[in-house]
Amino acid sequence: MSARMVRIKKEMRALFGPWCAVVIAGALPVIMPHSYTAVGVMPAGLAESLSFLSFFFGVPLLATLSLGDEFRYGTLSLWLAQPSSRLQLWGEKMSVMCPAALSAALVSGVVMFSFTWPHTRLAYKIAAAAYVIVTMASATLWTLTTKSTLGSLALDAGILFLGALFSRGVEAPFRSSPLLDGSPAGTITVILAFGICFAALTLWLGARKLARFQATGGSSGEDLLMAGPSVMPEVLAGWFRSRPSGASLNLIRKEFRLLRPLWLTELLVLLYVAFLATFRLLPAPSKWELRTGLEWALLGPLLSVCVAMAGLAGILSLGEERSSGTQAWQMTLPVSARRQWLIKLVVAMFSGLACAVVFPVLAMIAGGAVFGSPLMYVNAHSLPDVLIMFGVLTFACFWCACAANGTVRAAISVVPVTAAIPFASFAGLWLGEELAQFTGTLKDFMVSSLRLSPLALTTISDFARSTALWLFIPAMLLGLIQSYRLFRTEPDDSVLRMLRSILPLAAVTMLWSFSASAGFLYSRWEPFAETRQALDQFHPATAKLELTGEDLARSSSFTALTRRWLRGARIAVAPAHSHLPGYLATIHLASGLECRLRVTHHGGTAASCGN
């Protein structure tokens, strides 16, 4: 086998895992049906959000990961020392990266524009395609400039924001020339021309920079994102330096110092939110749904950055320590591993929630207060749900950082983890529902056997169907225990190790969801409806009747649950004393419970039970 084929196989092996993760995330809206996102398997819109992130951030990750790994593992000097020209080596990376990025973009793009936004204008679809081309062409330039994968992704996020503004800005002058679905023809021409020119320019600059790049000292150099110039005042920066005493406080200071890129990004987010609030470009609290192109251009990147910050808060600290090889040294400190793990978890959760939710909301409140209404941009009722969602995301990313070896691998692992757990919950709910259709739920069996009220636990069932978090509580508790165990063990890059860590979480979630679904969640038993159908055969609206449960069972085809519930029951039926025709049935169950069934032929059925 030639040296060229060996290098190409090495590139394919490095991109295969991330490519699978991006493709799975892009196809989630097809895998996760909306009928189950509404009843609690996944928060509404989570599959669509992951598909959006896979297209606009997963594809850039595939584009930059190949060269970024050389910086991450310190192998760039060895790669450049190959007995081949630099342009040939670069061409080998591009020959593997381009098919991977294009195929992943095709899957995510087709799903996104077919399921998430099926009525998107053609101009925006062309802009998305241009973004993919620009991302692949500029990956070499951004990676060599920032000397890291994360730095390249940060520049891609800026390109995404500027591209959204540019696409919106060039649309207005060409509205008079509609094409196909109403998209301006001039917009498409300008976007394509600018995208091709910008891609060609960055491609040439990247090849030129690679040809002249100098990797001094045999190392990969400094990571611009982690080791950039300090922008904090000296007084404030001094607080984050270690002290001769206070081990726990020193560890907390170290965590905040490792999360410096997060705080720098948060500063830009706050300035941007303040700008939008000042010029009243934020929507009202009840209309936080991005529909128009301007709203997507202004708020889409903001929401994506908030999601990314919540994830980075859980990944960045431990991931960077493991990438640099200092995490094993940290374990030799005279501080227990449990305390180090707890400090990392608490600081990550605090930083994720503060940067993704609390600080932006406070900026919106301050912007609204300027106009005399602090809550003009904030929906206070939805804040608990938002905090829970971002908290779960940060914890999931922290778990991935404990299970993976390095920041990039942890970020890639977030996709299969966030997809596997909801999918396991969906499978458990579906299996439990299918079983409940034939046998009834455990709640139905208990009610029918003990002759209890069928209305019992109805409120709890309705609440459980409207809340998703309780389905994942066992997985979160197990994940908390697992994260501590994984934090103490030496990580590796084995995919099998990651699968062994995910499988217990998926199994517990599936078993818990199956128990909930088969236990009480999906009850199809309607004893009052069956009883009414049986009583209607006796024409009870004209005369009083005295019946038993066995009498009704002989005259009607009851289900086994209803037959058991009415066994030994006495039923007194009398015409209703009202202007509406109907009757009143009093069911004396064998347990001593009395249920009343009021039937009006024009108003429906009302049932109540009591002693």
Q: What percent of the chain has pLDDT over 70?
A: 80
Q: What is the pLDDT of residue 601?
A: 67
Mean pLDDT of 408-423: 81
Query: What tokens appear for 125 in the block?
Result: 């679809």
**Per-residue pLDDT for 383 more than 60?**
yes
Would strands 545-548 and 570-575 be described as parallel, antiparallel, or unpaired?
antiparallel
**Per-residue pLDDT for 596 more than 80?**
yes
Among the residue ranges 64-68, 170-174, 198-202, 473-477, the one predicted with the least confidence is 170-174
- Nearest-angstrom CA–CA distance, 409 and 118: 32
pLDDT band at 179 (very low <50, low <70, confident <90, very high): very low
Residue bearing the bigger pLDDT, 174 or 81: 81
Residue bearing the bigger pLDDT, 398 or 321: 398
**Per-residue pLDDT for 296 more than 90?**
no
Residue bearing the bigger pLDDT, 508 or 549: 508
Q: What is the pLDDT of residue 175?
A: 46
Q: What is the pLDDT of residue 399?
A: 94
Query: What tokens appear for 130 in the block?
Result: 């241009």
Among the residue ranges 167-171, 250-254, 382-386, 467-471, the one predicted with the least confidence is 167-171
Q: Are 61 and 150 in contact (CB under 8 A)?
A: no
Q: What is the pLDDT of residue 397?
A: 92
Mean pLDDT of 20-29: 83
- Residue listed under structure tokens 């309780």: 470
pTM over 0.75: no
Query: What tokens appear for 456 in the block?
Result: 């019992």
As a whole number, the mean pLDDT across the chain is 79
Q: Where are the alpha helices (DSSP H) in 259-382?
A: 260-278, 293-324, 327-330, 337-353, 359-370
> Which among 235-239, 354-358, 374-378 has the top mean pLDDT?
354-358
Q: What is the pLDDT of residue 465?
A: 57
Q: What is the pLDDT of residue 180?
A: 36
- Nearest-angstrom CA–CA distance, 188 and 119: 17
Query: What tokens appear for 184 in the block?
Result: 């301006």
Mean pLDDT of 302-315: 86
Among the residue ranges 3-12, 208-217, 458-467, the one predicted with the least confidence is 458-467
Q: What percent of the chain has pLDDT over 90?
A: 13
Mean pLDDT of 589-595: 85
Residue bearing the bigger pLDDT, 230 or 396: 396
Query: For 417-426, what is each residue's pLDDT tens digit?
Result: 877 888 888 8
- Burial of 495 per CB tally in 10 Å (0-12, 13-18, 19+): middle
Query: For 239-280, what is each residue's pLDDT tens digit?
Result: 777 778 788 888 998 898 888 888 888 888 898 888 888 888
Among the residue ranges 59-73, 177-191, 235-249, 334-348, the one predicted with the least confidence is 177-191
pLDDT band at 378 (very low <50, low <70, confident <90, very high): confident
Among the residue ranges 31-45, 87-101, 266-280, 360-374, the one predicted with the least confidence is 31-45
Q: Are 545 and 555 in contact (CB under 8 A)?
A: no
**Per-residue pLDDT for 358 more than 90?**
yes
Residue bearing the bigger pLDDT, 267 or 194: 267
**Per-residue pLDDT for 342 more than 90?**
yes
Residue bearing the bigger pLDDT, 459 or 136: 136
Mean pLDDT of 73-98: 86
**Per-residue pLDDT for 509 more than 50?**
yes
Q: What is the pLDDT of residue 106?
A: 92
- Nearest-angstrom CA–CA distance, 424 and 504: 11
Task: Provide the strand spans (E) within 86-146.
Answer: none
